[in-house]
Amino acid sequence: MQAGSEGRSVSTNTLKRLRGLLSRALGRGREAALWQQMQKLHPWSYTPTHGIAWGRDGTSFPVVIDRARGCRIWDLRGKEYIDYTMGWGTTVLGYCHSEVQKAVRSAMGSAPLLAYPRPIQAEVQSLLERDFPGITGVAFGKNGSDVCTLAARLCRGYTGRKTILYCGYHGWGDFWAEQHGFSRSSIPERHPALIHRFRFNDTGGFMALFEQHRSDLAGVMLEPSGPWGGNDIGCEPDADQGFLETLRLATRSVGALLVFDEIITGYRYLEGSVQRARGVTPDLTCLGKAIASGMPLSALLARGDIMQVAFGKAHYGPTFQAEAWSFAAAKATIEVFHREPVALHVWKQGEALRQGIDEALRVAGIPGHVKGPPFRMSICFGEEQGEIRELQRTLLQQEILRLGVSIYNNGVMLPSYAHDDTTLERTLEVFRAALIIVGRATRDGSLAAKICIPLLREM
Ligand SMILES: Cc1ncc(COP(=O)(O)O)c(C=O)c1O
């Protein structure tokens, strides 16, 4: 190398470093100001470290995110993270998929919302009809909670009964949230309660509850694969075929409706949905999250005469239900699902992630496992004492964020089509390093001393 070119490359590197330092410093100032501004009026935003932006040793944590692409997010200081939260699971394709971006940009040539339906709505309806054969009614919403609430009303309106049995998470609508009681939901409680929970894959438990409520049973609603079971259980496994079939037969035997909440599993499950892969057909299906790759759209699909009988009694009419930019995103997204092996890739990556983290836990000498089907999994520590598990979870979160990997506070991870092999390898390197630290700190009793973010409490 010539002396001159060496000199130039040194100064270019120095310049780059200076630029990096400057942008990090500016990002830090801007972030602090934004954070304070947001906290003033809305202190409830999600941040994995509850607003702690800097560790004692100067490590930065993400508080406000600037941009996202593929499976990566960047904070205001330009620090990059491999992300497994994927916008609360709203994209399976990855952030800013080029075809979805193009479709939305082109739809922006016209207004997002008219009082009249537009052709793009019919196109999305046809795509859903193709993927969920036999549906005779569709209603759209913006959030999963819209269509879960509508599903509950249709169950009640159609059957003339009131009780709903459920398993999984179904949003923040009153019908579901009232199980939390007045003190935690501000929804007036009813006695006797109208909604009751059964455990996933617990056929005996379900049948006992079913027998108790059969005379007033309006519907059974569940996430048909891997629902979140709480911090101690983590993500439940995939469904037993017999469990799903029992639910189908039992509901049919009393004229109640079966609702599959496929808001997570829709287009993430092999063959596009649990119902298609397993051959168990519900009466109502809730879709959301993945169908429009990050744009706000949800859909309620109905079979048979349910809509004719009950829709008119459901008082359902959100203003933004026919918003066209999200339909454009949904059309582009579903067409990619039809053309490319998206779910297969997600399952393959998820399975490799599970095996890699399980192995890293073993090497680090930490009891624990990754639980749940490959499209949505959670890391669960196996220590007996809840306090130790809480410390381990917190230290793991801190250490992986330090190294540039972002997951949910409760250990949940959603791999996507954008998580490629290189990303997977880097993720596993990060987990191996972080779990070694967690393992050592568990053994020498220094977990609490190593943590500089607030404790992630059991929920
Ligand atoms: C299975 C399931 N159903 C319903 C919902 C509620 O959806 P939203 O938050 O869009 O209202 C969620 C959200 O996480 C979900 O995972």
Query: How many angstroms is it from 364 CA to the middle of ligand 1?
Result: 35
Is pLDDT of 4 > 70? no
- The pLDDT of residue 252 is 98
Residue nearest to atom 8 of ligand 1 (CA): 144
Query: How many angstroms is it from 392 CA to the middle of ligand 1?
Result: 28
For tokens 């459920």, the residue is 166
User: Could you give the C-alpha distances from 206 to 79, 164, 170, 297, in angstroms and in order?
Assistant: 47, 12, 18, 32
Is pLDDT of 12 > 80? no
- The pLDDT of residue 11 is 74
* Residue 373 near residue 50 (C-beta atoms within 8 A): no
DSSP code string of 341-368: -HHHHHHHHHHHHHHHHHHHHHHHT--E
By C-alpha distance, which of 405, 360, 350, 351 is closest to 381? 360
- Assign 10 a pLDDT band (cuts: 50, 70, 90): low
By C-alpha distance, which of 405, 452, 458 is closest to 85? 405
Euclidean distance between CA atoms 24 and 39, whole angstroms: 22
Euclidean distance between CA atoms 139 and 322, whole angstroms: 9
For the stretch 366-392, pLDDT in tens is 999 999 999 999 999 999 999 999 999
- Answer whether 226 contacts ligand 1 (Cβ < 6 A): no
Query: How many angstroms is it from 436 CA to the middle of ligand 1?
Result: 34
- Answer whether 90 contacts ligand 1 (Cβ < 6 A): no
* Residue 226 near residue 240 (C-beta atoms within 8 A): no
- Residue 278, both tokens: 């397993």
DSSP code string of 269-325: SGGGSHHHHHT---SEEEE-GGGGTTS--EEEEEETTHHHHHGGGS----GGGG-HH
For the stretch 41-77, pLDDT in tens is 888 888 888 888 888 888 888 889 999 999 999 999 8
DSSP letter (8 states) at residue 76? T
Minimum mean pLDDT among 27-36, 240-249, 251-260, 419-428: which range? 27-36
Mean of pLDDT values over 71-96: 96
- Assign 2 a pLDDT band (cuts: 50, 70, 90): very low
**Range list of β-strands (E), 19-119:** 65-69, 72-75, 80-83
Question: Quick one: what percent of the chain has pLDDT higher than 90?
Answer: 82
Residue type, 113: L
By C-alpha distance, which of 392, 413, 275, 285 is closest to 346? 413
Residues 6+ apart with CB under 8 A from 58: none
**Residue 192: cis peptide before it, omega within 30 degrees of 0:** yes
Is pLDDT of 458 > 80? no
Residues 6+ apart with CB under 8 A from 368: 361, 379, 380, 381, 382, 383, 392
Mean of pLDDT values over 411-426: 98
3-state secondary structure of 387: helix
Pocket test for ligand 1, best of 147, 167, 169, 235 (most atoms within 8 A of CB): 169
- Answer whether 259 contacts ligand 1 (Cβ < 6 A): no
Query: How many angstroms is it from 129 CA to the middle of ligand 1?
Result: 22
- Answer whether 148 contacts ligand 1 (Cβ < 6 A): yes
- Answer whether 251 contacts ligand 1 (Cβ < 6 A): no
* Alpha carbons within 13 A on the beta-carbon side of 373: 21
By C-alpha distance, which of 226, 235, 283, 295 is closest to 255? 283
Q: How far separated are the first and last CA of the chain, in Å rounded? A: 60
* Residue 301 near residue 128 (C-beta atoms within 8 A): yes
The distance between the two most distant Cα atoms of the chain, rounded to a whole number of Å, is 89
Euclidean distance between CA atoms 222 and 159, whole angstroms: 18
* Residue 243 near residue 201 (C-beta atoms within 8 A): yes
* Residue 141 near residue 299 (C-beta atoms within 8 A): yes
Pairing, β 163-167 against β 195-197 = parallel
Question: Quick one: what percent of the chain has pLDDT higher than 70?
Answer: 95
DSSP letter (8 states) at residue 215? G
- Assign 25 a pLDDT band (cuts: 50, 70, 90): low
- Assign 3 a pLDDT band (cuts: 50, 70, 90): very low
Minimum mean pLDDT among 17-31, 222-236, 300-314, 422-436: which range? 17-31
- The pLDDT of residue 41 is 87
Mean of pLDDT values over 438-459: 90
Query: How many angstroms is it from 145 CA to the middle of ligand 1?
Result: 6
Minimum mean pLDDT among 55-69, 110-124, 298-312, 407-421: which range? 55-69
- Answer whether 372 contacts ligand 1 (Cβ < 6 A): no
- Answer whether 170 contacts ligand 1 (Cβ < 6 A): yes
Residue nearest to atom 5 of ligand 1 (CA): 171
Query: How many angstroms is it from 171 CA to the middle of ligand 1?
Result: 5
Q: Which residues of 275-299 are buried (b: 16+ CB within 10 A; e: fewer)?
A: bbbbebebbbbbbbbbbbbbbbbbb
Residues 6+ apart with CB under 8 A from 30: 76
By C-alpha distance, which of 449, 453, 456, 437 is closest to 365? 437
Q: Domains, the chain, ranges and CATH?
A: 41-83+342-450 (3.90.1150.10), 98-339 (3.40.640.10)
